[in-house]
Amino acid sequence: MRHLMLALFKHAHSENNYEESCLYAFAFLFLFRLENECLPLEVGTPLESENHCPSLPFGRHSSCWLEGNELVVRLRSRKNKMRGSTLRRACMCHVSPGSWEVCPVHVLGALLTGKAPGAPVFPFWHDQTGAAVRHSLRRRLILLGVPNATEFGLQSFRRGHAQQILDDGGTLVDVLRAGQWSSPAFLLYLDYAEVENSAVIDSWCFARGDESDDSE
């Protein structure tokens, strides 16, 4: 899935659709639901961190900002975490060949440049439906010659990254931490044989989430 995500990123970029290429990378690296968590993402500032405000204002979907060598995303609420979630992704430029092309700090972070707090991270897609993104995704997969391209959906990115972590030897704890999930329900999507054989953290995850508000 990692190689496919990079191929998708490059293909969208070659079509001069930088925003959509970053949309794919965001969904993959943060293990987000593309329609409900990625499309509505909003620009924020470090002043909207949990250290400065207990919760984001009502009606505020999220806050995304650069902090040192990390891209930080704070979601006001999530399906299984009503008090929201904070996720961090560090610079990946020197991690492995090709990782610089989807670096959270230097590539995805560039989407925030010049945008005021509250502005959408993905202006073009902010008011679009998941169906539009799905159609565009499948079109690119067909052009890339991916088998069963029409069967891919918007969950493919987070599902694929979760499986990638396990394929790389990561544990269930690593997957839960990477996606800030409090429930192992995601296992329904994965290969149980791979789950049983997992052991070490994924070298591409580099996730450090604030789990202080999750008692499970």
Closest CA to 108 of 209, 20, 210: 20
Asked if residue 171 belongs to a domain, the reply is no
Asked whether residue 182 is domain-assigned, the answer is no
Q: Identify whether 161 is part of a domain.
A: no
Q: How many domains does the chain have?
A: 1
User: Quick check: is 8 in a domain?
Assistant: yes
User: HSE (CB half, 13 Å, CA atoms) of 192?
Assistant: 2
pLDDT in tens for each of the 216 residues of the chain?
Answer: 667 777 888 888 888 888 888 888 888 888 888 888 889 999 999 999 988 888 888 889 999 999 999 999 999 887 666 667 888 888 988 876 667 788 889 989 999 999 999 999 998 877 777 888 888 889 988 999 988 888 887 776 666 656 666 666 766 666 556 555 555 555 444 443 333 333 222 334 333 333 333 333
136 is in which domain, residue-wise? 2-152
Q: Which amino acid is it at 39?
A: L
Q: Is the pTM of this model over 0.75?
A: no
In a domain? residue 194: no
Q: Is residue 184 part of a domain?
A: no
CA atoms of 45 and 67, how far apart (whole Å): 9
Within 8 A by CB and 6+ apart from 142, the residues are 149, 150
Collapsing DSSP states into helix, strand and coil, what is residue 102?
helix
Residue 189 lies in a domain: no
On whether residue 157 sits in a domain, the answer given is no
As given in the structure block, the two tokens for residue 114 are: 């010049």
Residue 145: which residues within 8 A CB-CB, separation 6 or more? Answer: none
